[in-house]
Structure 1
Amino acid sequence: MIYAQILAGGKGTRMGNTAMPKQFLPLGSKPILIQTIEKFVLEKRFNAIIVVCPSDWLTHTKDLISKFIKDSRVVVITGGSERNDTLMNGITYIEKTFGLHDDDVVVTHDAVRPFITQRIIDDNINAVMTHTAVDTVVPAIDTIVRGENEQVNEIPIREYMYQGQTPQCFNIKKLKKAFNQLTTEQKEILSDSCKICLLAGEEVHIVRGEVSNIKITTPYDLKIARAIVEKRVVI
């Protein structure tokens, strides 16, 4: 079974003073979340498309999907307090609803990356069928500087550096096993889902993303996204 999980559990604090979390803000004629879900509905290999949202916005999310999306594969559940709690809530739903099988995989994606292409989705599905974990990346353009206490500690070789995007994809049983092996301290500082598998000693395969696959996090990002939709700029 192949599942998609749209991570829409964030509160959007970096977006500033908005009336709602960023995934619900308008982008063109539809909310950002809907623009993202529509890309996944086009992929017929998904057995279910699970949208994980804040508990306070559950009814709102269901109403939006009922209005814009006509696909019975799309379901809405509540997320957790942190990103990886939200991810695991989706895994728990899959296990309780469909059961878990050795070859089951999940394609997870940020709700606020609405410009994902079908090529990226297709490449991720193909890769996760033969790899435990898959990360979508683009080569770093700027030099990456590692620093601490306002001092530069390291400047890594740029050709080995990438910027992480989503989707991130996993064999579900192996992801669940890896997550359960983490200590409480590791879970508290975990900022990336693929690191769950890295800490368990699993290899993470790379799929190339696109510069256009931007994450709408700040007011500036939203301006760029709206300009793209209005065809004023091309990334």
Structure 2
Amino acid sequence: MIFGAILAGGTGTRMGNIEKPKQFLLLGDKPIIIHTIEKFYINNSFEKIIVLCPKNWIKYTEDLINKYITNSDSLNNSDKIEVIEGGNLRNETIMNAISYIETNYKLTDEDIIVTHDSVRPFITHRILTENIKYAAEYDACDTVIPATDTIVETKDNKFISNIPNRKNMFQGQTPQSFKINKIKTLYNKISDKEKHMLTDACKIFSINNKKVFLIEGEVTNIKITYPHDLKVANSILKGY
């Protein structure tokens, strides 16, 4: 089975003085998160879509989904989406999704979870399809685009310590997709200290010396983090 996990646990502090988390801001005539969920919802590969958000925003998220998606669906697939509480950290949120899956489904070693930022609303069908395909083949995959700028490394935030070859550098996007039993096993192997230091789910594989397959992303698959990003996203939306 294929599960989607849309990570909406952030509060959007970098977006500035806003009254609600950034995933609920309007992009065009719909909230950002709705654009994202729709891309998963119309993809028939997904058995279940799990949306993970702060506890006090669960009812609000459910109401948005009912308003924009399930109430307008003539096929009445309202049970395809479930909204649950996320964790304090990104990987805790993913593990909450996995716990939900374990509780409600009989897991096999072939089951896959496709994790995606709720504020990347321009995810394409091609990227989703390739994530599913290569997670099945390689256990884990990450969506990336080639770095276009020179990458500069510093160890003290004052002076350059290294300038790696740009040909070997990529910028990470999402989705990141995994065989569920595999990521759970590897996550349980790492220490609590490592768990709290991790900001990227693929790191769970790399620190366990496991390979992660790279999938080509798209420059339009942007993450809306700052006010400028929302302006860019509205421009992209107009061009669709």
* 2:179 is the alignment partner of 1:166: no
Correspondence for 2:42 = 42
Aligned mates of 1:37, 1:5 — CA distance in 2: 10
The letter for the 2-side match of 1:189 is M
* 2:215 is the alignment partner of 1:197: no
Aligned partners of 2:143 and 2:217 also within 8 Å: yes
* 2:103 is the alignment partner of 1:96: yes
Aligned length: 232
RMSD, aligned α-carbons: 1.0
Runs of at least 5 residues in structure 2 that lack an aligned partner in the other structure: 71-76
Aligned partners of 1:132 and 1:202 also within 8 Å: no
Structure 1 residue ranges, 4+ long, deviating more than 6 angstroms after superposition: none
Runs of at least 5 residues in structure 1 that lack an aligned partner in the other structure: none
Aligned mates of 1:229, 1:223 — CA distance in 2: 10
In the TM superposition, what are the counterparts of 1:126-165 in structure 2 within 5 Å? 126-149=133-156, 150-165=158-173
The letter for the 2-side match of 1:122 is T
* 2:225 is the alignment partner of 1:217: yes
Which residue of 66, 87, 109 maps to 1:80?
87
Correspondence for 2:73 = none
Aligned mates of 1:147, 1:28 — CA distance in 2: 39
* TM-score (normalised: structure 2): 0.94
Could you say what secondary structure the match of 1:49 adopts?
strand
Could you say what secondary structure the match of 2:137 adopts?
coil
* TM-score (normalised: structure 1): 0.96
Write the deviation string for residues 56-77 of structure 1: whole angstroms up to 9, x where unpaired: 1011001001111123211110
Q: Using the TM superposition, give the Cα deviation of residue 46 of structure 1 relative to its aligned residue in structure 2, in angstroms.
A: 0.7
Aligned mates of 2:107, 2:15 — CA distance in 1: 37
Could you say what secondary structure the match of 2:123 adopts?
coil
Correspondence for 1:58 = 58
* 2:8 is the alignment partner of 1:8: yes
Aligned mates of 2:63, 2:131 — CA distance in 1: 29
Of all paired residues, the percent bearing the same amino acid is 51
Q: Using the TM superposition, give the Cα deviation of residue 144 of structure 1 relative to its aligned residue in structure 2, in angstroms.
A: 0.5
Aligned mates of 1:171, 1:118 — CA distance in 2: 20
Aligned mates of 1:42, 1:120 — CA distance in 2: 14
The letter for the 1-side match of 2:228 is Y
Aligned mates of 1:201, 1:100 — CA distance in 2: 24
